Amino acid sequence: MMDRLDLRLFNINYSLFTDVAEAYRQLQLAFAMKPHSPTGFSRSLTLKQHSSDTTRYSLWYEDVFQCDFSDLHAAVRQLEHSLLQRAVREDFGLTIFHAAWLAKRNISVLLVGGSNSGKTRLGVEMVNRGFRLGSDEATALHNRSGFLLPFYRNFLLKPPFSAEEASRIEAGSATGDDRYYLKPAGNPPAWAAPGPYKLKFVFLRPGGAEQKTASLRPLAVEESLGQLLQNCFNLRQIDQTAFRRIVHRLDPACAWELAYSELGEAADLISQLGSEP
């Protein structure tokens, strides 16, 4: 007899990688709750536990076998990867930006930028300032509803680590993962719920030592639109509705370029955006 866990896109709690048994429990909870997403994804990834060897798992997509895993940790890691890849490559009606998403009340701040722009570390700072976490890497906009959909997991960091980070880093290598996750300093971050938000876009421009103070520069629609779409994972899946929605949400009162060198100072500036009406 196999355990069968029907998994819906973007409705999984990945926060407990460090404790596999707890991750398994959370996955079950997530499945049991069923999606609170309004989008009703019809496709599913399914994780099955082997009946003959309960330490082994296999991943199925739409009832098509994908791969086998020797432990649940590896399976969960692959689930996360599969979710993102499927969402980017296939047409789920999502527009996905290379952006971290932090929320406070009805305001969502999207930290937009490529690799090494500081999305994750700024996201950590924002969570420390009371923001909810929607994603540290990929933010999905549902084309039809305009809802943001979360991508839950622990913050994934790249070395080198600060001394403070090093004390909280969980190396996945102990269980076959080659990545590094930042354990929460206290309680796990509060997660942002899927839904409609007032969006504020912050395009990250990390500077060097010459960048003395952090500053926000309002961006005209043309500039912010161009930058946003350059950071879109699946440009070809944007539809007319989503494009119009994006354009109408961009204006100099909600799109800025952030030049910064010091994380805390930058996070303080961004936090002010979350408190504006």
Partner 1 sequence: MIQLKQNLLLAEKAETLYVLDIDSGRVHSFNLTAKVIFQLCMQPIEFDELVREFLGYFPIDPAEATEDIRQILELLRQYDLLAESGRRDG
Binding stretches for partner 1 (CB under 8 A): 221-222, 225-226, 229-230, 235-236, 238-240, 243-244, 246-248
In degrees, rounded to 5, the angle at the alpha carbon of residue 203 between the alpha carbons of residues 201 and 207 is 150
Closer by beta carbon to partner 1, 7 or else 96? 96
Closer by beta carbon to partner 1, 63 or else 222? 222
**At 57, which amino acid appears?**
Y
CA dihedral 172, 137, 145, 238 (to 10 degrees): -120
Identify whether the C-beta of residue 112 lies closer than 8 Å to the C-beta of residue 201: yes
Q: How near is the Cβ of 222 to partner 1 at its closest, in Å? A: 5
Q: How near is the Cβ of 138 to partner 1 at its closest, in Å? A: 18
Closer by beta carbon to partner 1, 20 or else 225? 225
Q: How near is the Cβ of 242 to partner 1 at its closest, in Å? A: 8
Q: How near is the Cβ of 248 to partner 1 at its closest, in Å? A: 6
Closer by beta carbon to partner 1, 174 or else 253? 253
Identify whether the C-beta of residue 14 lies closer than 8 Å to the C-beta of residue 80: yes
Q: Using CA atoms, how far apart are residues 268 and 208, in angstroms rounded to an integer?
A: 19
Q: How near is the Cβ of 237 to partner 1 at its closest, in Å? A: 9
Inter-axis angle of helices 20-33 and 72-89, to 10 degrees?
50
Q: How near is the Cβ of 152 to partner 1 at its closest, in Å? A: 29
Helix (H) or strand (E) holding 7: strand 4-7
Identify whether the C-beta of residue 48 lies closer than 8 Å to the C-beta of residue 57: yes
Q: Per DSSP, which regions of 70-212 are E strands?
A: 94-104, 107-112, 132-135, 138-142, 148-149, 156-157, 169-171, 180-182, 198-206
Closer by beta carbon to partner 1, 45 or else 232? 232
Q: How near is the Cβ of 50 to partner 1 at its closest, in Å? A: 44
Closer by beta carbon to partner 1, 26 or else 231? 231
Residue closest to 254 by CA, chosen among 243, 264, 246: 246
Closer by beta carbon to partner 1, 20 or else 221? 221
Q: How near is the Cβ of 95 to partner 1 at its closest, in Å? A: 11
Residue 89's SS3 state is helix
Closer by beta carbon to partner 1, 224 or else 271? 224
Q: Using CA atoms, how far apart are residues 274 and 277, in angstroms rounded to an integer?
A: 8
